[in-house]
Every structure is written in structure tokens, then in C-alpha cells.
Structure 1
Amino acid sequence: MLHTAVALADRAGIGALSMRGLAQELDVVPMALYKHVANKEQLLDGMVDVIVGEIDPPADGADWRSAVRGRVLSARRALLRHPWASQVVESRTAPTPGTLDYLESVIGMFRAGGLSADLTHHAMHALGSRVWGFTQELFHGRGGDPQAQAAALREAADRYPRIVEIATAGAHDDGSVVGRGCDDQFEFEFALDLLLDGFERLHHRGWTSAGHR
């Protein structure tokens, strides 16, 4: 049932998912679904755990930095296969069992690498949603008429010259997941590597939060 729900959301979008529609997809009466889930929210929880189950397990023998990087990038690939998934992950009011298992695994990689509980705590905060493989994009550029976009940039340049300068400074990719905009895979890995490099430096310095409060 959960895998069918995921396939339906992939095909029609998460907004089109309903208990009735899923029942039709499974060729059962809607009440039959309630033997498995109490409501749609519980269905969504189960779908999140299906997606989490697609994330590759930690690589054997990898150092903590490579292990965390590989796990996060695998999470990104899983969520990109299901464009609705990040929205549903963010919408959960309580973590699902799969979510907790995944976060436990990532935290365990930091700790196995020797990072203190204190530094790991702050590292997880710094990673934020990036630990799931997505971030809020600063400059969206999601499709639309290129001529209209160019005109809007020219108009904005008078009032917001620095924003326009930065928004148009990077390399752009017509095939990007976010449409005509920044190369989001590059930007994601760039920020992830900066964070991991910083965590590594702090670990080697014996950093603690006590000295920075």
C-alpha cells in the first residue's frame, strides 16, 4: 500500500493523493485502507519511511567525513526521485521511526569519528535540512518567460543592485532541478563541503561551545 501511495504521488503529485484515490489505485474500498493506517497523516508518515528506506546505508570503512557526505548525498538522490518528498518531510509534526533511524545513523558517524557530543549537536543544527538532501534556495529562478525574467532583473537592478549582481554571478544550468537558475547540485555540494571542512577543523582544535557562550 505505501509503495503504491508513493508511486501515485510521484505520478500525480502529493496534492492529488487522497485515501479514496489510493483505494481506487489498489482496487479496494476506502475503508479497507483504515485497517493499515488510521488516517492520511499516518499514511504520509509511512510514505516518508519508504523514501528514507531508499537512502544508501553507510559505506563500510569510510572515514566519518566521507560517510556523512555519502549518506547526505544519497538522501538527496532519494528526495530528488520523489519531488514531493521534501515538502512532506518538513510537514511532519513528529519524527517517524525511519526518520529517527536515519538521524541516529548520521549522528553515530560524527561520534564514531571522534567528534564530541557538543560539536555534533551544533553540526546537526548547522546541517539543518541539508542532512535530508535539500535546502531552501536563495535565488529560485523557477522557469517562466526568459524575456520577462530579464526585464524583471533590469527593473530590480535599480533598487537592488547587489542582489541582482549576486543572483546573476554564478554559473547557471538550464537542466537544473530548480529550472533556469543556479546549478543546485553544485551549490548543495559546495555548502555541504564547507560545513564538513569546518566541522573537521573544529574537531581537530578541540572546540567546545562552552568557550563561545
Structure 2
Amino acid sequence: MPESASRRLDRGRIVDAAIAIADAEGIAAVTIRRVAEALKAGAMSLYRHVDGKDALLDALADRIAADIPLPESGSGWREGLHARAVATRRICLRHPWAARLLESRLASGPARLRMQEAGLALLAGDGFSLSLACRALTVLDSYIYGFTLRESALPPSDALPDAVRDVAPAIRPEDYPHIVTAMMHAMAEAQKDGGAAALMEADFLFGLDLLLDGFAAAKG
């Protein structure tokens, strides 16, 4: 690779290419060599900007965190955490690999540190103890990532009715009456405006409100 092309590489372009690969092929496809190929660069030239695959994955996690808005100044803890949860879910659905990556990376870059600092400050400012604030953020993030991982694994909204019909014959009403009733209810809800996506969003917001109510009760 010509030296001039190498100089055009920077960390931002490398992360952009890695995200495009992860979106198209899954996070397992993201390697230094694969990103170098996408950038039409030599693999060794990438090491001037990232130390290796682990550092690259940490950079991807931090880029995702940077897209999550920090709480607005003056917002209460409930409004701030609600907005954070909704934004995080939206981003994780846009990048189906992001929830697992954010949950699994131990190293935190500047954006992830700012996100955690803002969350702790929000709770501490409204009278949460440090212990309760840490637990609340851990539980909240676990809920967001777990929900979006499950949501990302579901068939697309337009394919969901066919998927349900495919499994329905194996679920006999006489053996599983409550499951069959629940499936019929879900199918009916999915036929309404917004389809299955609106149903999943309603489920997410329902669970989120329960969590925030629990945090308020624990705070006393």
C-alpha cells in the first residue's frame, strides 16, 4: 500500500469500516484483516491506530456509547434514565450486535465513562446512595441489553405471522391452552397499527416503567 494511502487512515475511518462490517456480517466478522480489506489497506497499517482486535472492539463499543445522548441539564433521574433506556434500545436495534458488545467489553473508553458518570451523577443528585445508584444502573443496563438481544433475535415484523403459524401446529390447545391463547392475543396485537414492532416497544416501555417504579420505591 502506498505510504500516502496509509496516512489517510485514521481511527475514525477504521471504526466506521468495522461498524459497516458488523452491520452487514455480524460482529464475529470484524477482524483487523477484514477491516483492512474493506479500507483497501495493509493490515499492519491499522496497528498504527488500534493495538489489535480487542482494542478495535473496545473502540466500537465506545462509538456506540457516544451515540447515546447524555441526560439533559436539569432533568430528573426518572426522565433521564427513561431517555437513556429508550435511546440505547433504539441504537441497539439499529446495530443488532451492539447490545452483546456493550455488555461484554470490560474496558471503557471516554464515551462509555461519560455515560456512566452522567448516570451516577443523575441519581446522586436526586438523593440515591452510591450503592443504590450503582445497582440501579446495572439492573437498567441488563434489562435494556437483554430485551434488545431477544428482540433482535425475533423474525422481522412482516415475517412474524408466518413464523407463528409455522410453530402453531406443534402446540396443541388441549396441552397448552394458555400458550395458545397468548399466541392468539399476540397475533391480534401485531395486526394493529405499528405491527409487532409497536407491540415490542410497548412491552419494553412497560418493563422500563416497572423498573423505574422499583428504583423510586427502593430510594424511599
The two structures have a TM-score, normalised by structure 2, of 0.75
1:47 matched to 2:63? The reply is no
1:183 matched to 2:195? The reply is no
Q: Note if contact 2:155-2:163 (Cα within 8 Å) is conserved in structure 1.
A: no
Post-superposition Cα deviations, 1:11-70, rounded to whole Å, max 9, x if no partner, equal 343233332221122221111112222221221111110111111121122111101111
User: Equivalents in 2 of 1:111, 1:135: separation in Å?
Assistant: 27
User: Equivalents in 2 of 1:133, 1:102: separation in Å?
Assistant: 19
User: Equivalents in 1 of 2:193, 2:102: separation in Å?
Assistant: 25
User: Equivalents in 2 of 1:129, 1:69: separation in Å?
Assistant: 14
Matched residue, 2:215: 199
Deviation at 1:172, TM superposition (A): 2.2
Percentage of matched positions with identical amino acids? 33
CA distance change for structure 1 residues 67 and 149 in 2, over 3 Å: closer, same or farther?
Answer: closer
Choose which of 101, 108, 111 in structure 2 pairs with 1:96. 108
Matched residue, 2:30: 17
Q: Note if contact 2:68-2:87 (Cα within 8 Å) is conserved in structure 1.
A: yes
Aligned residues: 200
Q: Note if contact 1:56-1:71 (Cα within 8 Å) is conserved in structure 2.
A: yes
User: Equivalents in 1 of 2:25, 2:213: separation in Å?
Assistant: 40
Matched residue, 1:210: none
1:153 matched to 2:164? The reply is no
Larger helix share, 1 or 2:
2
Matched residue, 2:16: 3
Matched residue, 1:87: 100
CA distance change for structure 1 residues 19 and 110 in 2, over 3 Å: closer, same or farther?
Answer: same
* Structure 2: gaps spanning 5 or more residues: 1-13
3-state SS of the aligned residue for 1:59? coil
CA distance change for structure 1 residues 168 and 117 in 2, over 3 Å: closer, same or farther?
Answer: farther
Q: Note if contact 2:99-2:149 (Cα within 8 Å) is conserved in structure 1.
A: no
Q: Note if contact 1:55-1:75 (Cα within 8 Å) is conserved in structure 2.
A: yes
Code of the residue aligned with 1:95 in structure 2: it is A
Matched residue, 1:115: 128
User: Equivalents in 2 of 1:199, 1:18: separation in Å?
Assistant: 40
